[in-house]
Amino acid sequence: MYQINFQNPIHVFFIGIGGISMSGLAEILLSEGFRVSGSDRQKSPLTETLCSKGATVFYGQKKENLSLHPDLIVYTSAIKEDNPEFIAGKELGIPFLTRAQLLGQMMKNYKIPIAVSGTHGKTTTTSMLSQILLEAGTDPTLSIGGIYQAIGGNIRVGKSDYFVTEACEYTNSFLSFFPKIGIILNIEEDHLDFFKDINDIRNSFHEFAKLLPSDGTLIINGNIPDVEVITKALPCRVITYGSSASCDYRPENVTYDNFGHPSFTLLGSEDRDEGTYTLHVPGLYNVYNACAAIAAALLLGIDKECIKQALSDFRGTDRRFEYKGQVNGFSIIDDYAHHPTEITATLNAAKNYPHKTIWCVFQPHTYSRTKAFLPEFAKALTLSDQIILTDIYAARETDTLGINAGTLQEEIRKLGHDCYHFSSFEEVENFLLENCTKDDLLITMGAGDVVKIGENLLQK
């Protein structure tokens, strides 16, 4: 594998430079004096930011984009071998690294690299821990899988030994990492277009845990079924958090304010009181996300009062139960949930939020995920009072697998719950304007572009 020498900056080309993670890595390299270029399908705020910092960005992926003959090409799993830039790079003999391999090599440059993994909650927990480190004045470098307004984007380049990043299991990309502290939030079935089954996924997380060195630490949710199988024979220290008294940390006395924001007391081993924390993001799931972040912060020796203040100041990241505004007296929330567990957590959180009727506009994400979890999606969505489906967002997929949004609609109706389906966003928006009333709560939900519905409504 090609190894980057960070003391000798080179010219790196990113295929798909506008992606949330790729753009962050490009920005870090720019800050280290590297020459950066790349391509993407279209202009975006992320590519414009890179250009303002000195990157060269081409729109449209063509072999001519490699005419400057970069020293290294970085690509993601979304790039196929028939990509014209991929082909041209191979013909020119330019070395390649995957996005994950580059990120792993970056981690080696820091004394305290922290990787946050899990099927759900990575972006929020990474952001929570980032907020704590910023509050503590540690000057960390941060790579977040979403837009975090506290740092004005998804990346922050610091000057200290701290590096915090998300660690995604898809295509086993996190197995290219070199963390000193690893966090596993949860392990569930997902990405079944790559993994065989839940056992394959669990094995992947076990391999991730084994990456931690003997002087490293794994922080893991003790509520994960058979968690000891994941932690067995690890050379590193293991810290658990969860609902069981056997965990090293557990939340107690969870209460909610009028907007569903929780407060809780954190108990350590032998019921040691580790303080009371108040969040300004909703839901029990965020209590557990906060527990993981607190456990990491306490491990790093950060003062409890600093942690409390940071978590109280934390207001979430874009597209995670994000308040967008009001139209005709009803509130609009947008959320990235695209897995049944995430949907369940978000809609349960919404029940504690002021509302008369909960409307959920759900955009299924990928045919493979929709087919794999069809009954689970239907059951989760029935937690909403009113359900509207858009067409499936295909993302990287071309095979429909014989299903569509109508298939999910039928599954929901089998459960005795009505459900609407519209093929265009304009139809959805017109229907909502006619039917949503004062004090209703509208949630646009999914990992695609469903956010546009709420944003369009706010312009009408």
What are the start-end ranges of the H helices in 3-44? Answer: 20-31
With a CB cutoff of 8 Å and minimum separation 6, the contacts of 353 are 259, 260, 282, 333, 441
In sign, the C-alpha dihedral spanning 397, 398, 402, 408 is positive
Helix axes 45-52, 20-31, angle to 10 degrees: 10
Contact assessment for residue 101 and residue 1, using Cβ atoms and an 8 Å cutoff? yes
Question: In 328-380, which ranges are E strands?
Answer: 330-335, 358-362
Task: Please tell me which residue in 123, 126, 217, 341 is annotated as part of the active site.
Answer: 123
Tokens representing 381? 């969505």
Q: What is the DSSP letter of 64?
A: G
Phi, psi of 84 (to 5 degrees): -60, -35
Closest of 364, 358, 371, 367 to residue 338, by C-alpha: 364
Known active-site residue 122: yes
Query: What residue type is assigned to position 239 of the chain?
Result: I
Query: Annotated catalytic, 98?
Result: no
Q: Which of 85, 166, 189, 429 is catalytic?
A: 166
Q: Give the ranges where 357-397 is alpha helix by DSSP (H).
A: 367-372, 374-381
Instruction: Establish how many alpha carbons lie within 13 A of residue 23's alpha carbon, considering only the half-sphere containing its beta carbon.
Output: 23
Q: For the chain, first and last CA: distance in Å?
A: 53
Q: Note the Cα 359 to chain centre separation in Å.
A: 24
Is 166 one of the annotated active-site residues of the chain?
yes
Helix 451-459 × helix 425-435 angle, to 10°: 60
Q: Can you list the positions of beta strands (E) in 301-365? A: 322-327, 330-335, 358-362
User: What is the Cα–Cα distance from 129 to 222, expressed in whole angstroms?
Assistant: 19
Give the pair of three-digit tokens for residue 58. 């081409």
Asked if residue 122 lies in contact with residue 97, where contact means CB atoms within 8 angstroms, the answer is no
Which residues are paired to 273 by β-bridges? 267
Contact 404/395 with Cβ under 8 angstroms? no
Catalytic choice (27, 47, 85, 122): 122
User: Under a CB-based contact definition with an 8 Å cutoff, are residues 59 and 37 in contact?
Assistant: no
Q: What's the rounded Cα separation, in Å, for the pair 274 and 48?
A: 44
**Which positions are annotated as active-site residues?**
122-123, 166
